[in-house]
Amino acid sequence: MINLGIGQPDFPIAQHILDAAERAVRDGPYGYSSAQGEFVLREAVSERYCNENYYVSPDNVVVFPGAKTGLLFAALSFGDSETQILYPDPGFPIYSSVARFSGAEPVAYPLDENSDFGLRADDVLSRITKKTRLLILNSPGNPTGGVTTIPELDLLVRGLLDYPDVFILSDEIYRQIYYGQDKPRSLLHYPEIRERLILIDGCSKTYAMTGWRLGFSVWPTSLINLVNRLCINSHSCVNNVAQAAGKAALTGPQDSVASMIRTFTRRKTILVEALNEIPGISALSPGGAFYVFPNITEIGITSLELQTELLNFAHVATIAGTSFGSAGEGFLRLSFATDQSRLEEACERISTYLNR
C-alpha cells in the first residue's frame, strides 16, 4: 500500500530543535506555565512577524497544543444558534465541524478550480448575512494547495469594511510552504482589520512537528481575556518541552525548512506531470502546502468510488475530494509528503489500473 493520504511532512526534525527539547527535559521548567504560552516563545512569534514588517505584540500571541485548538477556540468565541460561520469548500473538514459544534450554522463558500482554488472575494462577500460572525480563510489551502491572490485579498478586505461585526480567522499554517516567487500574503498585512483578525499558525507543518502539538496564534486585544480563559479551563498550559522546541524552531537556522521546500518542489513537479499523463486526470500545480487536488470527473465515477477502487485494486491510498466538502466531488487529494520513488510508483499503479 502506498499512502498518499497523510498530511504530515516526512522529514526529520532539525537537530537544534531536538537539542532544545532535550535541554528542556533536563533543566525544566517542570511545573504549570503561562496559559497564554511562555513569554520567550510568544516573543519569538512576535519577532518572526516583526521581521516581515508586521508588528505583533507578544501580548497578542497565544500558544496552543496544536493549531486545531485555536480553530476550536475561535469557533467557540463566536458560535451560537443565532450565528453563521463562513468556511471554504473544499476545505479542511475541521472548519465546518467546529462551527457546528459551537452551535453556529456553517455556511460554505466555494473555492473554484478555474481560479486555481484561490478564494474569490465576491464568493465570500455575497454570502455574508446579518448572522455572519466569523469568516474562515485558509491560504495556502488544504486540500487544494490553492493560494489566494493579492488582488482578491485586497478586494475582500475592502469589502469586509462594510461588515464591521464579522471577525476573520485566517489559518496560515501552510504559509511557509509555497512554490511561487513570493510568500503568500498574510492577513496581518491589513491594519484596517487587525482588531478583528485571529491568525492561526504553528510548528506542525513548517518544522515537521505534527506530533509535538504546538500551535501559535495572534488574537485581537479584545479577545485575549476570553481566549486565555478557554486555555486555563481546558489544557492549563502547553507542554513546556514542546514550547522550548518551538522557540528553537522559530529562532534557529531555517535551512531545514528551505531544504524541505526544495524537496517538496521536486516531488510536486513529478507528481503533477505524472498525473497529467494519465487519461481522465488533470492536475493543477499547487501554489503551496503539499497536496495535489486533481480533477477526475472524466473518469466517470464519483470521487469516493475512485478512492475505494484505487485503495482496493491499485493499493494506493488517496482521499476523495468530498471528504473536504461537497464541492470536492470530482477531485481527489494526493499528499506528496512521501518520497519520490513511492510517488512515481503510485502514479504507475494508478495509470495501470485505470488503463486496464
Q: Rule CB under 6 A: is residue 84 a binding residue for ligand PLP? A: no
Distance between CA atoms of residues 331 and 75, nearest Å? 28
- State which of positions 212-251 bind ligand PLP (CB under 6 A): 215
Near ligand PLP by CB under 6 A: residue from 77, 138, 240, 263 = 138
Place of cell 531536538: 18
Distance between CA atoms of residues 24 and 41, nearest Å? 13
Question: Which residues partner with 108 through β-bridges?
Answer: 87
Near ligand PLP by CB under 6 A: residue from 92, 264, 290, 324 = 92
Q: Which is nearer to ligand PLP, 63 or 316 (CB)?
A: 63
Task: Give the helix/strand (H/E) hosting 75.
Answer: helix 67-78
The phi and psi torsions of 33 (rounded to 5 degrees) equal -125, -175
SS percent in the chain: helix, strand, coil, step 5: 45, 15, 40
Terminal alpha carbon distance of the chain: 19
- Residue 353 CB, shortest distance to ligand PLP, in Å, is 27
Task: State yes or no: cis peptide before 143, omega within 30 of 0.
Answer: yes
Q: Rule CB under 6 A: is residue 173 a binding residue for ligand PLP? A: yes
Total number of residues binding ligand PLP (CB under 6 A)? Answer: 13
Near ligand PLP by CB under 6 A: residue from 3, 34, 115, 210 = 210
Near ligand PLP by CB under 6 A: residue from 5, 7, 287, 288 = 7
Q: Rule CB under 6 A: is residue 90 a binding residue for ligand PLP? A: no
Measured between alpha carbons, how far is residue 123 from residues 19, 96, 97, 126, 193 in Å? 47, 17, 21, 6, 19
Q: Rule CB under 6 A: is residue 140 a binding residue for ligand PLP? A: no
Near ligand PLP by CB under 6 A: residue from 46, 102, 132, 142 = 142
Q: Rule CB under 6 A: is residue 171 a binding residue for ligand PLP? A: yes
Q: Rule CB under 6 A: is residue 66 a binding residue for ligand PLP? A: yes
Q: Rule CB under 6 A: is residue 46 a binding residue for ligand PLP? A: no
User: Judged by CB under 6 A, which stretch of 65-73, 100-108, 252-260, 262-270 contacts ligand PLP?
Assistant: 65-73
Task: Give the helix/strand (H/E) hosting 217.
Answer: strand 215-218
Q: Strand 84-89 to strand 105-110: parallel, antiparallel, or no bridges (unpaired)?
A: parallel
Q: Rule CB under 6 A: is residue 42 a binding residue for ligand PLP? A: no
- Residue of minimal Cβ distance to ligand PLP: 66
- Name the site residues for ligand PLP (rule: CB under 6 A): 7, 66-68, 92, 138, 142, 171, 173, 202, 204, 210, 215
